[in-house]
């Protein structure tokens, strides 16, 4: 989604702005722009398309100046165009602004401003911010911005610059992320840490409602009432290299291969040495607390939602507490039955997904206790939830989520085992068995990644099919959903996942000769049933690619090909079966020449509704 950068310092602004925006490219965007104060005026340059278009446009004539802002836009109000790209300015070019989010009352404000004589040039909601500042500006930049913010409704992270106040940027946020990078004789602003990580690891993470005035040698933060706020420096504990490709062709492939490390890190120090228990110091729950919880909601979007489905299965099976798993954008509007006996677990890699954040706020409003599972320390979701468990996956850059998913599964497993230990709903022996099994998972994922040639071959063979079906039962179905999403989002192949038993209630009509069906068959309790479903699709001449555990001798009798993953407990095997599905999606996307890391229309962090 949109990216924001800002620079004020002794150096040149434009090189940082372009570099920072490049590092935010993974978020997805359709146009880009920068504004730099050149000593006389604010020079704005923008272009629809990739950043390379903007760079081409200003080649040999890069804006000169040491205060600037930049933006990559993902269209919401108005189509992608040069005009609609940010930064936006007021009528006289005195102010420029970049903005992520949506100004919900922009139409009313715009009509009012037009009536007062302001001339608008774009279709965006953002442009009202610049004109509004022009309208209320009284010579005091900071108090004027405060006034503007008091008039707008909606979600935002934004940065203003002013020709009348050189060497100063003012930024603020509401429901959208914003960080300030602390440099030496220079300071940076960004919507996301990767934009500044090459320059500094010392940051201030802004909270909702905070307004920061950023100069090259001073920063002060206040709330909307103008009261000062003391910020703690947050040291980023990963480096620029972690956010780079490290020799892989794509971030997605790198991140798939990072899964053993990410899962190991997420498990580390959370398992008792003797395998007797899960240690979650973050939670410190007791029997009294868990007995008071009569219902759990797991709320998330996309891949995180799929991890939630597995979480539901784990918690119900192990801790025997009823769990509902909900899509965040549905949960928040469906008047869910939530009270103070409810625990709401939200899962979000980025910690910034607006629907998940809003669902979290709604759950809190209704009296629920809340727990966030997220990958980003200091993210909005991490800060809003009562408690947090981090997945230690490291930065995930590719739009398609991979290592975040596997680490989310691990965290859900840990939570379920932790609950089961406290509630004594599972024999101790079984808890220890699963902990030992979990310890093996990183190595087993590594093994799954060793021989990718058959997967490459299938991707080439079936990569041009228009429809692919994924089937499975129980946990296999949950993984099938994730496999189908991966294939859709990066290869643009129409893919659907079905609970295998549901096929003959409609979907079987679509199964004709040559249609690829990817069938997961790892769950013992429903194994025979799954085989029957596979036979049904085979009888319609589908091409079946089976996914099974090593040692399975049956599936190959019915499937055209079988991909084997190491043998593991059926509770844990989703952590392995998802890997070939991620790779299949990756190689299918390559076969079709798709932009793997930045699939069309999608953004890494979805910060608009
Ligand atoms: C996954 O591949 C997606 N691109 C997407 O579904 C993602 O998981 C979803 O938008 C939620 O993001 P979050 O985990 O950052 O909240």
Burial of 290 from C-beta contacts in 10 A (0-12 / 13-18 / 19+)? middle
- Backbone phi and psi for residue 512, each to the nearest 5 degrees, phi listed first: -130, 180
Pairing of strands 234-235, 202-205: antiparallel
Closest ligand 1 atom, CA of 353? 16
CB 318 within 8 A of CB 416: yes
For residue 87, cis peptide bond before it (omega within 30 degrees of 0): yes
Return the residue whose CA atom lies nearest to atom 4 of ligand 1. 400
CA geometry: angle at 580 spanning 578 and 584, to 5°? Answer: 115
Q: How far is the CA of 352 from the centre of ligand 1 (A)?
A: 10
User: What percent of the chain is modeled with pLDDT above 70?
Assistant: 99
Ligand 1 lined by 277 (C-beta under 6 Å): no
Q: Strand, coil or helix: what is 101?
A: strand
User: What is the distance, to the nearest Å, from the Cα of residue 302 to the centroid of all Cα atoms in its chain?
Assistant: 9
Instruction: Map 532-563 to HEC letters.
Output: HHHHHHHHCCCEEEEEEECCCCCHHHCCCEEE
Q: Are strands 369-374 and 387-390 parallel, antiparallel or unpaired?
A: parallel
pLDDT, average across residues 260-274: 92
pLDDT of residue 376: 86
Q: pTM here?
A: 0.78
Cα 529 from Cα 522, distance rounded (Å) = 11
SS3 string of 105-144? CHHHHHHHHHHCCCCCCCCCCCHHHHHHHHHHCCCCHHHH
| Helix (H), strand (E) at residue 355 | helix 354-365
Ligand 1 proximity of 304 Cβ (cutoff 6 Å): yes
DSSP string for 270-308: SB-TTSS-B--TTT---HHHHHH--EEEEEE-HHHHHHH
Pairing of strands 211-214, 219-222: antiparallel
pLDDT digits (tens, 9 = 90+) for 280-314: 988 989 999 999 999 999 999 999 999 999 999 99
Q: Which atom of ligand 1 is nearest to the CA of 486?
A: 2
> What pLDDT sits at residue 155?
83
CB atoms within 10 A of CB 266: 25
As a whole number of Å, the end-to-end CA separation of the chain is 11
Q: Which residues contact 528 (CB under 8 A, 6 or more apart)?
A: none
Report the mean per-residue pLDDT for the chain: 94
CA distance 56 to 20: 17
Distance CA 289, CA 357 (A): 24
Determine if ligand 1 sits within 6 Å of the CB of residue 122: no
pLDDT digits (tens, 9 = 90+) for 89-117: 999 999 999 999 889 899 999 999 999 99
How far away, in angstroms, is 396 Cα from ligand 1 center?
11
CA pair distance 402, 445, nearest whole angstrom: 12
**What confidence score (pLDDT) does residue 190 get?**
96
pLDDT 10s digits, 167-193: 999 999 987 889 999 999 999 999 989
Element (H, E) at 172: strand 169-174
Q: Which active-site residues does the annotation give? A: 2, 604
Question: For residue 73, which phi and psi values (nearest 5 degrees)?
Answer: -105, 140
Pairing of strands 323-327, 295-300: parallel
């Amino acid at each position: 989604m949109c990216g924001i950068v800002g620079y004020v310092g002794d150096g040149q602004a434009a090189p940082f702005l372009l570099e920072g925006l490049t590092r935010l490219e993974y978020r997805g965007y359709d146009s880009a722009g920068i504004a730099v104060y050149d000593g006389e005026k604010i020079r704005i340059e923008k272009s629809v398309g990739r950043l390379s278009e903007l760079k081409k446009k200003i080649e040999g004539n890069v804006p000169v100046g040491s205060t600037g802002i930049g933006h990559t836009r993902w269209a919401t109000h108005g189509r992608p165009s040069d005009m609609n790209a940010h930064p936006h300015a007021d009528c006289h070019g005195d102010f420029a602004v970049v903005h992520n989010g949506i100004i919900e009352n922009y139409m009313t404000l715009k009509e009012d401003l037009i009536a007062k004589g302001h001339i608008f040039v774009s279709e965006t909601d953002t442009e009202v911010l610049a004109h509004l500042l022009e309208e209320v500006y009284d010579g005091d930049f900071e108090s004027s911005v405060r006034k503007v913010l008091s008039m707008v409704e909606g979600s935002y992270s934004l940065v203003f610059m002013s020709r009348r106040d050189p060497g100063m940027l003012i930024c603020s946020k509401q429901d959208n992320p914003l960080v300030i990078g602390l440099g030496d004789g220079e300071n940076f602003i960004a919507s996301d840490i990767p934009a500044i990580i090459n320059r500094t690891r010392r940051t201030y993470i802004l909270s909702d409602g905070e307004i920061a005035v950023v100069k090259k040698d001073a920063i002060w933060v206040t709330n909307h009432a103008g009261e000062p706020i003391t910020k703690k420096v947050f040291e980023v504990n990963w480096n620029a290299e972690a956010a780079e490709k490290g020799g892989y062709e794509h971030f997605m492939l790198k991140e798939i291969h990072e899964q053993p490390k990410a899962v190991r890190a997420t498990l580390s120090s959370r398992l008792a040495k003797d395998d007797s228990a899960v240690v979650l110091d973050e939670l410190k729950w007791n029997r009294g607390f868990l007995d008071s919880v009569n219902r759990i909601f797991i709320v998330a979007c996309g891949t995180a939602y799929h991890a939630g489905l597995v979480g539901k299965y784990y918690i119900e099976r192990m801790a025997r507490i009823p769990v509902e798993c909900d899509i965040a954008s549905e949960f928040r509007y469906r008047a869910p039955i939530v009270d103070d006996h409810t625990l709401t677990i939200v899962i979000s890699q980025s910690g910034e997904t607006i629907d998940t954040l809003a669902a979290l706020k709604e759950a809190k409003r209704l009296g629920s206790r809340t727990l966030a599972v997220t990958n980003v320390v200091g993210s909005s979701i991490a800060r809003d939830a009562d408690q947090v468990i981090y997945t230690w996956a490291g930065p995930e850059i590719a739009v398609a989520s991979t290592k975040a998913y596997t680490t989310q599964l691990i965290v859900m497993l840990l939570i379920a085992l932790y609950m089961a230990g406290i509630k004594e709903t599972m024999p101790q022996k079984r808890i220890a068995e699963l902990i030992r099994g979990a310890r093996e998972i990183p190595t087993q994922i590594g093994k799954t990644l060793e021989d990718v040639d058959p997967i490459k071959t299938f991707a080439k063979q079936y990569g041009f099919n228009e429809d692919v079906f994924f089937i499975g039962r129980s946990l296999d179905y949950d993984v099938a959903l994730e496999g189908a999403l991966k294939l859709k989002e990066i290869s643009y192949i129409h893919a659907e996942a079905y609970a295998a038993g549901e096929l003959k209630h409609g979907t079987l009509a679509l199964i004709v000769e040559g249609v690829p069906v990817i069938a997961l068959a790892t769950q013992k309790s429903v194994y025979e049933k799954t085989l029957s479903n596979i036979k049904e699709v085979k009888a319609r001449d589908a091409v079946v690619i089976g996914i099974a555990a090593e040692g399975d001798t049956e599936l190959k009798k019915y499937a055209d090909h079988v991909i084997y993953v190491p043998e593991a407990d059926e509770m844990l095997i989703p952590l392995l079966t998802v890997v070939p599905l991620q790779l299949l999606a990756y190689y299918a996307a390559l076969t079709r020449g798709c932009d793997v890391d930045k699939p069309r229309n999608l953004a890494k962090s979805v910060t608009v509704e």
